[in-house]
């Protein structure tokens, strides 16, 4: 008899291989078009206040945060906007695999070194105007690293150099990292896979984000059935969840 419940192991595919960049491989597909719609909707959600930093999170793991944030980043860069995608999911990082860049240095280096050496840490990607900051060496204490004045300073510094900084972060319900980062950025987007997440956990996520006064811009419905949207991904955003 085990004293402790064995933790269910999560799928490792996107950590090993990165996520699919359909906006890059099939830019004329319906799915890529859906990602462009998501981008446009996010832009319109923040018309009064310039959006310089955005967090993408979800209630639980494996709900499409990394896929959606990376693809939306590509569509934004396609418009000629200088975008930085930051892998702030220090628990299940994917960005270095997705964009095939080294992960020796990354966000954790910047947060633990005396000065910000952006030049040697931020990487170019094959997409014009799109840069990435990989996670770097996975630390034992991600929440403590993120919940610092240094992180505030880093966000300030990054938004000086880039038009838009997108953060891929862990799920809201499991750990506090998303709440910490959501409280520091201009806007937060909740990725909700249709039919997979229970309504209760979406409401709980919203509650947790509101506690830290995150500005929730809206939700993106992921894994929406083709017959409902005309596409595989649903770029549905910011109505009743607001
Ligand atoms: N709309 C979709 N349709 C089909 N598969 C999808 C879709 N969105 C994501 N996936 C798949 O689901 C898995 C998880 O996606 P992804 O890594 O983007 O989620 P995540 O929320 O970032 O996960 P993690 O909790 O590990 O950070 C991946 O294998 C990805 O290819
Ligand atoms: Mg992820």
pLDDT for the residue numbered 46: 82
Residue 225 is predicted with a pLDDT of: 65
In a 13 Å sphere around the CA of 34, the CA atoms on its Cβ side amount to 25
Residue 66 Cβ inside 6 Å of ligand 1? The answer reads yes
As a whole number of angstroms, the distance between CA 172 and CA 181 comes to 10
**Mean pLDDT in residue range 102-116:** 98
- Domain assignment present for 135: yes
Total domains, the chain? 1
Torsion angles phi and psi, residue 122, rounded to 5 = -80, 135
**Residue 58 in contact with ligand 1 by CB distance below 6 A:** yes
Extended beta strands in 126-179, E state: 130-133, 164-168
Residue 6, pLDDT score: 46
The pLDDT tens digits of the residues spanning 174-221 come to 899 999 999 999 999 999 988 776 789 999 999 999 999 999 999 998
pTM: 0.92
Residue with tokens 């959606």: 68
Supply the pLDDT for residue 234: 41
Q: Which atom of ligand 1 is nearest to the CA of 168?
A: 22
Q: Residue 123 pLDDT > 90, yes or no?
A: yes
Is residue 233 included in any domain, yes or no?
no
The candidate with the shortest Cα–Cα distance to 235, out of 225, 222, 226, is: 222
Render pLDDT for 129-177 as a digit per residue (tens, 0 to 9).
999 999 999 999 999 999 999 999 999 999 999 999 999 999 999 899 9
Q: 132 or 226, which is more confident?
A: 132
Residue 35 resides in a domain:
no
In this predicted model, what pLDDT tens digit does every residue of 1-47 receive, in sequence order? Answer: 344 444 567 889 999 999 999 999 999 999 999 999 999 999 998 87
Of the listed ligands, the closest to the CA of 14 is 1
Confidence of residue 109 (pLDDT cuts 50, 70, 90): very high
User: Whose Cα sits closest to atom 16 in ligand 1?
Assistant: 64
Range of the domain at 139: 47-186+196-212
Query: Which of 60-64, 95-99, 228-232 has maximum average pLDDT?
Result: 95-99
In a domain, 169, yes or no: yes
Average pLDDT of every residue of the chain: 90
Protein residue with its CA nearest to atom 2 in ligand 1: 223
Give helix 30-45 / helix 65-77 axis angle, nearest 10°. 80
Does residue 96 sit within a domain?
yes
Q: Is residue 238 part of a domain?
A: no
Q: Is the CB of 226 under 6 A from ligand 1?
A: no
Residue 154 maps to which CATH number?
A: 3.40.50.300
Question: What is the distance in A from the centroid of ligand 2 to the CA of 168?
Answer: 7
Q: How many whole angstroms separate alpha carbon 234 and alpha carbon 134?
A: 27
Q: How many helices (H) and strands (E) does the chain have?
A: 11, 7
In a domain, 9, yes or no: no
Residue 2 belongs to a domain? no
Cα 203 to chain center, whole Å?
19
Residue to substitute in 17, 66, 67 for testing ligand 1 pocket (most ligand atoms within 8 angstroms of CB): 67
Ligand 1 atom 24, closest CA:
62
> Minimum mean pLDDT among 46-55, 208-217, 220-229: which range?
220-229
What is the predicted pLDDT for the residue at 168? 98
């Amino acid at each position: 008899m085990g004293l402790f419940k064995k933790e269910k192991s999560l799928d490792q595919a996107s950590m090993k291989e990165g996520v699919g960049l359909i906006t890059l491989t099939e830019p004329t597909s319906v799915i890529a078009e859906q990602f462009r719609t998501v981008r446009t909707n996010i832009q319109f959600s923040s018309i009064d206040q310039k959006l310089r930093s955005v967090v993408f999170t979800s209630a639980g793991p494996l709900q499409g945060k990394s896929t959606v944030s990376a693809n939306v980043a590509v569509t934004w860069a396609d418009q000629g906007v200088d975008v930085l995608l930051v892998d702030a999911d220090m628990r299940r990082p994917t960005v270095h695999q997705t964009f095939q860049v080294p992960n020796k240095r990354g966000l954790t280096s910047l947060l633990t070194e005396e000065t910000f050496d952006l030049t040697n840490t931020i990487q170019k990607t094959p997409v014009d105007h799109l840069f990435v900051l990989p996670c770097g060496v996975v630390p034992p204490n991600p929440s403590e690293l993120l919940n610092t004045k240094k992180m505030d300073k880093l966000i300030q510094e990054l938004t000086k150099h880039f038009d838009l900084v997108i953060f891929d972060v862990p799920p809201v319900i499991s750990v506090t990292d998303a709440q910490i980062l959501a409280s520091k950025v201009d806007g937060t987007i909740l990725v909700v896979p249709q039919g997979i997440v229970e309504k209760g956990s979406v409401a709980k996520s919203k509650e947790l984000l509101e506690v830290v006064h995150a500005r929730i811009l809206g939700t993106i419905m992921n894994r929406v059935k083709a017959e409902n949207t005309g596409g595989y991904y649903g770029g549905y955003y910011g109505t009743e969840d607001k």
